[in-house]
Amino acid sequence: MSTQTDYYELLEIERTADDGTIKSSYRKLAMRFHPDKNPGCDDSEAKFKAISEAYDCLKDPQKRAAYDRFGHAAFQNGGPGAGGGGQGFEGFTDIFETIFGQGFGGGGQRQSSRRGADLRYDLEITLEEAYNGKRTDITIDVSAACEPCEGTGAKPGTSAKACTTCKGHGKVRAQQGFFVVERACPACHGAGQVIADPCPSCRGEGRVDKEKTLEVNIPEGVDEGTRIRLTGEGEAGAQGAPAGDLYIFIHVKRHSVFQRDGTTLFARAPISFTTAALGGSITVPGLDKVEHEIRIPAGIQSGKQIRQRGAGMPVLQGRGNGDMVVQIEVETPTRLSTKQKELLQQFRETETGDECPESQGFFSKIRNMWDDLTD
């Protein structure tokens, strides 16, 4: 079919079409008639072969010139264009690049998987340390670059050589039916090079297991789950490949006084019922090592929150601090002296109900509800 049908007609283009138009039309048609898109359809398979053959000819300036002059005869019986016809790998590569994205046929790129693995380290700190920040040392077991061979994997004084199987690309191609399959080179395992004389210290790996101590800078204001990245401090890559990164995850211990929500610190402050009734002040030491005076208004109730501006956690990588919120809890005395009981008894005898309007309102509602039920 393809040898009897005009190549320009197959690709649905004019004979004056430029290279960009030829390629664009080929990609569109190849996507439409690809066997994977039309399973079991012999006509689509034949059409796909034909347009691939047409594109293989017209994308090459020399082949196209021969075809324009001699037609299909240019590639038959030793014609001037013979030897380059048929389905070339490049045509298949173009369609795969369209389907899977650029880089499918990038023969010169080695596998990025040779990069060293990233590591995780969990670090527990106190809330005070999260407030002030700190520098600390951590010790990790890690695969590090071999010092004798400087991470190359080759015996000192020697070097790796380009793999003859893949010519240093790290990848090989093979055609399977209509597909061009690209995979890691089996000889060098994707490295693109082979080591004839490996380093005795690392046995050609370019890395060895060792204990490493690192200094970590914990900034002010870190929170639970904050992640600190140390670039290049993860596992060393094989045979000189780049190292991975080390990720330090922060965990903040529970505090005896404060609870944290972002940059806000919450604290519960019990006060006596006399302070709640008459008003006064209490002192709350903050994480900033300042004693904050909290004013208590007369008649305050349990659960009331008082906000102290700027006494909370520092803003991570920013300016200023959050707030400290003190929640008041009125404590009922449980140990009273005889004198105190007498004084409280005298106070109760003077009560009119107006001292506690919420209580008075509640019992008034109860009485009204009872009267409605008994009517």
Q: Sketch the domain layout of the chain as residue ranges.
A: 7-100, 114-147+202-254, 259-331, 338-374
pTM recorded for the entire structure: 0.58
- pLDDT given for residue 140 in this prediction: 92
Task: List, as residue ranges, the binding site for Zn(2+).
Answer: 146, 149, 163, 166, 185, 188, 199, 202
Exposure pattern of 131-161 as b/e (b: 16+ CB <10 Å)?
A: beebeeeeebebbbbbeebebbbbbeeeebe
Q: What angle do CA 197, 200, 201 make, to 5 degrees?
A: 135
- pLDDT given for residue 185 in this prediction: 86
Q: Which of 76-90, 222-236, 237-251, 353-367 has the highest mean pLDDT?
A: 222-236
CATH homologous superfamily of 7-100:
DnaJ domain (1.10.287.110)
Per-residue pLDDT averaged across 140-148, rounded? 88
Long-range contacts for 81-85 (Cβ within 8 Å, ≥24 apart)? 81/57, 84/56, 84/60, 85/53, 85/56, 85/57
Confidence check: pLDDT of 86 > 60: no
Alpha-carbon dihedral sign for residues 130, 135, 141, 146: positive
CA distance 269 to 275: 12
CA dihedral 309, 313, 316, 319 (to 10 degrees): 30
Confidence check: pLDDT of 93 > 60: no
CA distance 334 to 356: 21
Share of the chain above pLDDT 90, in %: 39
Higher pLDDT, 64 or 325: 325
Contacts with 216 (C-beta within 8 Å, 6 or more apart), sequence order:
123, 135, 136, 137, 138, 228, 230, 248
Lowest-pLDDT choice from 30-34, 290-294, 345-349: 30-34
Model confidence band, residue 329 (pLDDT cutoffs 50, 70, 90): very high
302 and 331 Cβ atoms separated by less than 8 Å: no
Model confidence band, residue 360 (pLDDT cutoffs 50, 70, 90): low
Confidence check: pLDDT of 257 > 70: yes
Contacts with 265 (C-beta within 8 Å, 6 or more apart), sequence order:
258, 259, 286, 287, 311, 312, 313, 322, 323, 324, 325
Domains 114-147+202-254 and 259-331 share a fold: yes
Q: What digits encode the pLDDT tens for the residues 259-299?
A: 999 999 999 999 999 999 999 999 999 999 999 999 999 99
The token duo for 237 is 């890559």
Confidence check: pLDDT of 170 > 90: no
Model confidence band, residue 372 (pLDDT cutoffs 50, 70, 90): low
- CATH architecture, domain defined by 114-147+202-254: Sandwich (2.60)
CA distance 73 to 190: 43
Higher pLDDT, 229 or 169: 229
Task: List, as residue ranges, the binding site.
Answer: 146, 149, 163, 166, 185, 188, 199, 202
Model confidence band, residue 4 (pLDDT cutoffs 50, 70, 90): low
- pLDDT given for residue 102 in this prediction: 41
Mean pLDDT, the chain, whole residue set: 83
Confidence check: pLDDT of 110 > 50: no
CA distance 32 to 40: 14
- pLDDT given for residue 20 in this prediction: 84
Supply the angle between the helices 42-58 and 89-100 in degrees, to the nearest 10.
Answer: 110
In CATH terms, 259-331 corresponds, of 3.40.50.1360, 2.60.260.20, 3.20.20.150, 3.30.9.10, to 2.60.260.20
